[in-house]
A and B are shown apart, each in its own frame.
Chain A
Amino acid sequence: MSGDTRLLALGLIAVLSSASAVSAFLSWRAGGKPSPALDNLNQRIKAWWVMVALIALAFVCGKTGVIVLFALVSFAALREYVTLTFSRRSDHWVLLGMFGIVIPVQYVLVWQEWYGLYSIFIPVYCFLVMPALTALRGDTERFLARVAEQQWGIMLAVYCVSHVPALMTLPIPGFEGRGLLLIAFLIITVQGSDVLQYIFGKLFGRHALSPNVSPSKTWEGLVGGIAGASALGGLLYWLTPFSPPQAAMIAALSCLMGFLGGLVASAIKRDRGVKDWGQMIEGHGGMMDRADSLVFAAPVFFHVVRYLWT
């Protein structure tokens, strides 16, 4: 384990331990009074321990471990997404292909580091082949809605998510063998921004940002969260090939994308009349509830790094 990795691990354990300590203190002060908000906070922090442990385990297993982890994230996210979409019996084989072919092929291409193909496999080839298969089945009932929803699902849950492990494959001069730390930087700043937006929103939130889409999002939360996460990004510059100001700016961009991802995910949930994508992660909801910000941030972060640092 390199010195940087050890420092990162210790830092994460310190942050989670203080979160657990704060929540234990709040529970003690509440004196056994039942409080849904506090229960939820406790569940969320416990789930964070589990998520950090799983990511750490994947990191220990290296490139293959990280690719398998994110393939599973894609599987869980796509399953939640497709559950909420409209499909007919004639879509059965296309849906099976989304899980059984699209996910494995995309991640194998990432594993092979074949940028030329994994960056167009879903937006070009799946985009053309899947509606063709649906048309061949001859069922035209709500055809456009069905094929559009299928394409959206693999773009969000597979294509975008696969850009997280793809960060490992970027050949950055002078940064060889440190791709995992770049992934850690992205996940920590984007997820950190989610947590900070939640905290700033709870403490100072007054002005709703988009009450029709998500009543819990406020301007105060957004500004505080992104400012805090940018500062965090600047402090974590040593994980990346960036200078501190560059790290802060890239973190700000990623977190803004992450915020928009959360907003789009909320709009989809609102459209389908559900509060959460699922119940997979205690206190947080489904996989998509946790990953929505990463979905929007990962491809943009990936391309910024690719164009400016390779």
Chain B
Amino acid sequence: MLSESEIWDLLVQRLPKENLPKRLNIITDTSDYYKIGYDDIVLLNNIPYLIRHDQKEGRFGIDEQPKFWVKKAIDLIDASQKIIKLTFHERFTSRVGDITFECFRSSKKEARILEMVRGDRRFMQGFSVKDSAGNIVRIIDFIKGINYADYILTLGSSHEDYFFNYFPQVLDEYIELVKAIAFLHENNEKHGDIRRDHIIREKNTCINTWIDFDYNYIHKENMFGYDLFGLGNILTYITGRGDVTIQALKATNSPAFYTLNKDDMNIIFNNRVVNLKKVFEYIPDELNLILLHFSVGAPVYYDDTRQLLTDLQELRQKISK
């Protein structure tokens, strides 16, 4: 076990003198994650991690909220940046549209998936260790990049420019992302919280990486239905180069606003347009038909990720012609 003086020596190597903490606070039991803060040392498996700030997460215009159980940290042995996720087992009722269902957060699930996807860059990389109290702590490699939602908005000067000059490449990347989720499903694991901001586009490699696997939900007949819904939302987003809402179309007096009906909207989020061909007429039918599987008017849904992938691959072949 590293001694205090050895840890101090490592700190001296990693930080400028003026930034050194006044005293060492070494933590091996992470149960009370509220008490773990800036400059603390979390010692796990004899590796000291220097804690920096709590991670934050924001969404849909809501201010970023601190996630007290997720800390940015520096591995004092190799100086790499890490995200340390401490055990926070919670159960809660989640709501999408007017549907509610029981969700839970599990460090065990995330640890299991990290093990399963080791070396697969389509997923965040890391490992889990148990602290002195037996809590499962995940040590995640920090990914430098931007989230997928923000990335999409940087492409093209208009939707038409985006669609004809960037979308084929975006679609290829999306297909890879769906294949990654299919891999989880084939191994009987859900992602659990598929959202466009749970994909980080790594700055140097441009690899899109799924993050955050600790969510789970009580499924009913279709174990992967909610994951599929998330994939459909992302496809709609990348096709529309952002959310195309009924409110935005009305505000801009778009002619499409007058042609849309209830069936054209997202099955859960009824203000988001899914029948995007009515807005962007150059969208190929094959793509629009896939999107319509996620609409109020859909007569059939995808049962599994493989069905979605088959349609996407057929679409991709047509687009490249």
* A and B form one complex: no
